[in-house]
Structures are given as structure tokens and as C-alpha cells.
């Protein structure tokens, strides 16, 4: 979190707001105490885990659905209940929730697992099989069932392969007393197809699917959270249904819908008014889109950034050849080796695919075909993001003013 974020959050919280009653209720990591339209998934996940109360090993589960369909919220909600009941009925069991987007290496996942069974391991230095051995002996001496939740497990597999998953699904064969259940969660519906068939069948002992929400469901979800989040009467008519219908068009993502509602409230607050209107929602949508684009640009590799920079210099639209000439000039300026025009042409296609630029094939008569390339993103946002990188400052100052 940046210093701005930290100060802004605290400062905002200390101001008494005209708009918000409790804005935390709209944050993505808040777990509400009700999850409407997810009864089926909640009861399915709980019945899969329930055998723990008889001391049996629950089946492994594979949970999938697009982002913002409530997978993380449902699983965490069930885990809270699970803990409540295990302690109420004096059952001992453990669980370990790991988000593989943050802990995205085999070693870090294992370190987390070790931690949850009370084994401290150093940050680095041990081999994975040694860490495994220690986890297994801890599980055997604890003798309790362990549920391992691997959220966004595709991040781990994309980075490190499915070796760890394979070992985890086989770990029960090595245990004398403990029992391990794996709950794998993913936003990437195609991911499971690429897995080792043995991992696939073992992880998929049970499956729970999270379909996207429709506009009516999103409206219901938002309304219930809004009651706690906003002061009474601040939301204009149609604000919630507008957030819901925009998010429903973009694959039914509840996170997007909640973000839009929260940002709309923040914009109204900044303006010092005491009503959130549909115009605020539309501005919120644009603000969020800019953030998304900024995030994408930030993580691009160097040569893709240089292509974008080339497009900020000179005329409105140009051919791959034009872009390549400017690009080479920038490379010379930065003292980096340029890649081939062929590769630049691929980069142009990639940027076109994520929607940051627009590349249109046009015919040039007997000269054949070429692509006309245009920026398809807010220029100020693009410059602001690229400026954050020190080595681009000179380019932005010297080349753009020509």
C-alpha cells in the first residue's frame, strides 16, 4: 500500500462521512454474515466437509467459477462455521487457508502448511522433500484431520507446475494417523484440463461450480450490503440497479458491482454532496476502468512499454513500420537492444488483444496490407503510469515535446 493510500484511508475514516455509515462493508475482503443466492454452494461445501465431525477424511473438492462469483467468500464463510462447530463439539481438526496468488511458490505454500501444523521452517534453505517430511511427521503426531484450502491454485500451477498438487493428493498414503483433504479453488475454468490426469481425478473427487450472478441477484446482494454501508437515504433511485446491470453485463462479477458502488460513494463524498447519483456510478465505472488499465500497463514487459511509448509520440495512427522506427529510436536513447520488427508486430497483436491499442488491418492497394495502430486508452493515464518508471522520464520529456 502506498503512503497516499495509508494516509487517505485513515484521514477519511476520521472525518465523519455524509455518505458512509461503514465503508468497510463494501471492501472485497469483508465477509458478510449472509451470502444470498449461494445456499446451494454453501450446503454442498459444508456437506463435503462434514465427515470431519465423525473423524473421517472429507473428499477433496475442486471449486470453480469466474471471478467475483463468491467462491472465496463462501469458503471462508463455511470455515468460520466449521471452526465454531469443531470447538463447540470438542472435535479437533485443523485447516489451512492459502491464497496461491500471494504465496505463489512451492516453498511458500509448504511453509504456510507447516506453520498451520505448528512446524516452524526457515524462509529458505530446506529442500521441499525435507519440509514435506516434517509436515508429515507433525500430522502423524497430531493425528487430526487437516483441510488445506488452495485458493487461486492456478497461479501456483502456472508458475511452478502441478508437482506439489500431485504430492499433496498422495500424502494420505504416507500418513499413519493424520488425514488430509484438499480444497482447490480457481477462477480459470480451463485450468483443470491442463492438469496431470491423476491430479485431476484426485482433486476432482467432488466439484462445486459457481455460476455468474444475473442482474437481479446482484441487485439483491448489493442492496443488503448497502443497508449497512451507507447512511439511510443517500442512494438515489436506480443507483444499485445500475451497478448491478453494468456488472451483470461483464460476466456477473459481484466484486465489480461492489467496487462500483463503493467508488460512486467515494466520488459523491469528495464532491461534498450528500446523495449518490447514477452519474456518480458512471464516473466510478470510468475510474475503475482507468485503474484496471494502469495495472495492466504496469506489469507489461519493457519492449511492450516501449511500443506504447512510441505510440504517444507523433501522429494519431500509424503503421507497424512507423511504430518500429520510433521504437528503435527509443531503444537507442535507452541503450537497449531492439527486438525484431516481427516481434514488435506480435507485441502489437498482444496489446490489441488486451484492448490497450487498436490495430486495424487496411489494404494499401498494390503494396499489400498493413495495420493502422492507434492508442485505445486514456493518454493521461498511460503517461502517468509510464512516468513512474525513472528511465522513461527522459523520453517523455524530450521526445513527446517534439
Ligand X SMILES: Nc1ncnc2c1ncn2[C@@H]1O[C@H](COP(=O)(O)OP(=O)(O)O)[C@@H](O)[C@H]1O
The reply on whether position 241 binds Mg ion by CB under 5 A is no
Helix or strand or coil: residue 329? Answer: helix
CB of 41 to ligand X, least distance (A): 9
Pattern of binders to ligand X over 173-202, x per CB under 6 A?
--------------x---------------
Closest alpha carbon to 262 in 283, 284, 247: 284
Nearer to ligand X, 96 or 319 (CB): 96
Three-class SS state of 161: coil
Q: Give the separation between CA 20 and CA 7, rounded to whole angstroms.
A: 18
Per DSSP, the three-state class of 85 is helix
Pairing of strands 357-363, 369-375: antiparallel
| Residue of closest CB approach to ligand X | 70
Q: If binding is defined by CB under 6 A, does position 68 make contact with ligand X?
A: yes
Would you count residue 377 as binding Mg ion (CB under 5 A)? Answer: no
CB nearer to ligand X: pick between 42 and 168? 42
Residue 73 within binding range of ligand X, rule CB under 6 A:
yes
Segment lying near ligand X (by CB under 6 A), choices 32-40, 112-120, 295-303, 347-355: 32-40
Say whether residue 35 binds ligand X (CB under 6 A): yes
Distance between CA atoms of residues 134 and 44, nearest Å: 33
Rg (alpha carbons) of the chain, rounded to whole number: 25
Asked if 211 is part of the footprint of ligand X (rule: CB under 6 A), the reply reads no
Which of these ranges, 62-70, 98-106, 109-117, 345-353, lies near ligand X under the rule CB under 6 A? 62-70
Backbone angles phi, psi at 251, to 5 degrees: 60, 25
Residue 262 within binding range of ligand X, rule CB under 6 A: no
Spatial distance between the Cα atoms of 46 and 145, rounded to a whole number of angstroms:
15
Give the nearer residue to ligand X in terms of CB position, either 183 or 330.
Answer: 183
Looking at the DSSP bridge assignments, the partners of residue 65 are: 210
How many angstroms separate the first and last alpha carbons of the chain?
A: 36
List strands edge to edge, sheet with 94-99. Answer: 94-99, 145-151, 179-186, 61-65, 206-210
Q: How far is CA 372 from the centre of its chain?
A: 33
139 versus 247: smaller Cβ distance to Mg ion: 247
- Site size for ligand X, by CB under 6 A? 19
Q: Which of 32, 118, 194, 238 binds ligand X (CB under 6 A)?
A: 32
Find the binder of ligand X among 255, 278, 290, 328 (CB under 6 A).
255
Q: How far is the C-alpha of 149 from the C-alpha of 165, rounded, in Å?
A: 12
Stretch that binds Mg ion, among 67-75, 194-202, 259-267, 302-310 (CB under 5 A): 67-75
Does residue number 37 form part of the binding site for ligand X (CB under 6 A)? yes
Helices (H), 50-162: 71-88, 106-116, 128-142, 153-160
| Cα 266 to Cα 10, 79, 259, 326, 330, distances in angstroms | 14, 32, 10, 41, 40
Pick from 41, 60, 72, 181: which binds Mg ion (CB under 5 A)?
72
Binds ligand X by CB under 6 A, chosen from 60, 72, 106, 186: 72
Residues forming a β-bridge with 94: 146
Select from 68-76, 168-176, 293-301, 339-347 the region that touches ligand X (CB under 6 A).
Answer: 68-76
The answer to whether the CB of 73 falls within 8 A of the CB of 32 is yes
Task: Choose from ligand X, Mg ion, none: what does 254 bind? Cβ within 5-8 Å by kind.
Answer: ligand X
- Looking at beta carbons only, is 37 or 374 nearer to ligand X? 37
| CB 153 to ligand X: min, Å | 12
Using the minimum distance from each CB to ligand X, give the nearer residue, 209 or 383. 209
Q: Footprint of Mg ion on this chain (CB under 5 A)?
A: 72
Q: Footprint of ligand X on this chain (CB under 6 A)?
A: 28, 32, 35-38, 65, 67-73, 187, 221, 254-255, 258
Amino acid at each position: 500500500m502506498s503512503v497516499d493510500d495509508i494516509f487517505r484511508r485513515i484521514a477519511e475514516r476520521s472525518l465523519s462521512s455524509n455518505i458512509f455509515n461503514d465503508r468497510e462493508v463494501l471492501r472485497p475482503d469483508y465477509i458478510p454474515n449472509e451470502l444470498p443466492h449461494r445456499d446451494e454452494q454453501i450446503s454442498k461445501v459444508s456437506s463435503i466437509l462434514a465427515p470431519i465431525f465423525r473423524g473421517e477424511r472429507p473428499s477433496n473438492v475442486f471449486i470453480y467459477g469466474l471471478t467475483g462469483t463468491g467462491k472465496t467468500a463462501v469458503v471462508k464463510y463455511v470455515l468460520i462455521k466449521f471452526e465454531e462447530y469443531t470447538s463447540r463439539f470438542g472435535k479437533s481438526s485443523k485447516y489451512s487457508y492459502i491464497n496461491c496468488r500471494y504465496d505463489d511458490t512451492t516453498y511458500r505454500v509448504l511453509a504456510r502448511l507447516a506453520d498451520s501444523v505448528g512446524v516452524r521452517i526457515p524462509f529458505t534453505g530446506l529442500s521441499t522433500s525435507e519440509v514435506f517430511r516434517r509436515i508429515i511427521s507433525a500430522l502423524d503426531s497430531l493425528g487430526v484431520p487437516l483441510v488445506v484450502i488452495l485458493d487461486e491454485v492456478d497461479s501456483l500451477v502456472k508458475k511452478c507446475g502441478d508437482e506439489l498438487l500431485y504430492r499433496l493428493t498422495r500424502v494420505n498414503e504416507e500418513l499413519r494417523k493424520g488425514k488430509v483433504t484438499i480444497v482447490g479453488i480457481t477462477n480459470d475454468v480451463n485450468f483443470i484440463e491442463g492438469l496431470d490426469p491423476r491430479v485431476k481425478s484426485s482433486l476432482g473427487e467432488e466439484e462445486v461450480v459457481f455460476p455468474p450472478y444475473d442482474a437481479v441477484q446482484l441487485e439483491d446482494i448489493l442492496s443488503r450490503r448497502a443497508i449497512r454501508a451507507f447512511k439511510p437515504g443517500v442512494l438515489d433511485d436506480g443507483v444499485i440497479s445500475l451497478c448491478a446491470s453494468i456488472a451483470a453485463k461483464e460476466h456477473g462479477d459481484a466484486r465489480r458491482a461492489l467496487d462500483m458502488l463503493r467508488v460512486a460513494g467515494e466520488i459523491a463524498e469528495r464532491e461534498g454532496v450528500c446523495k449518490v447519483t447514477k452519474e456518480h456510478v458512471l464516473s466510478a465505472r470510468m475510474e475503475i476502468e482507468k485503474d484496471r488499465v494502469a495495472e495492466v500497463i504496469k506489469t507489461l514487459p519493457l519492449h511492450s512499454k516501449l511500443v506504447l511509448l512510441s505510440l504517444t509520440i507523433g501522429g494519431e495512427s500509424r503503421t507497424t513500420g512507423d511504430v518500429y522506427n520510433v521504437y528503435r529510436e527509443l531503444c537507442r536513447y535507452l541503450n537497449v537492444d531492439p527486438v525484431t520488427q516481427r516481434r514488435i508486430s506480435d507485441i502489437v497483436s498482444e496489446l490489441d488483444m488486451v484492448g490497450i491499442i487498436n490495430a486495424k488491418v487496411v489494404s494499401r492497394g498494390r503494396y499489400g496490407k498493413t495495420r493502422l495502430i492507434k492508442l485505445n486508452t486514456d493518454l493521461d493515464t498511460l503517461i502517468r503510469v509510464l512516468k513512474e518508471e525513472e528511465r522513461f522520464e527522459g523520453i517523455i520529456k524530450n521526445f513527446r515535446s517534439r
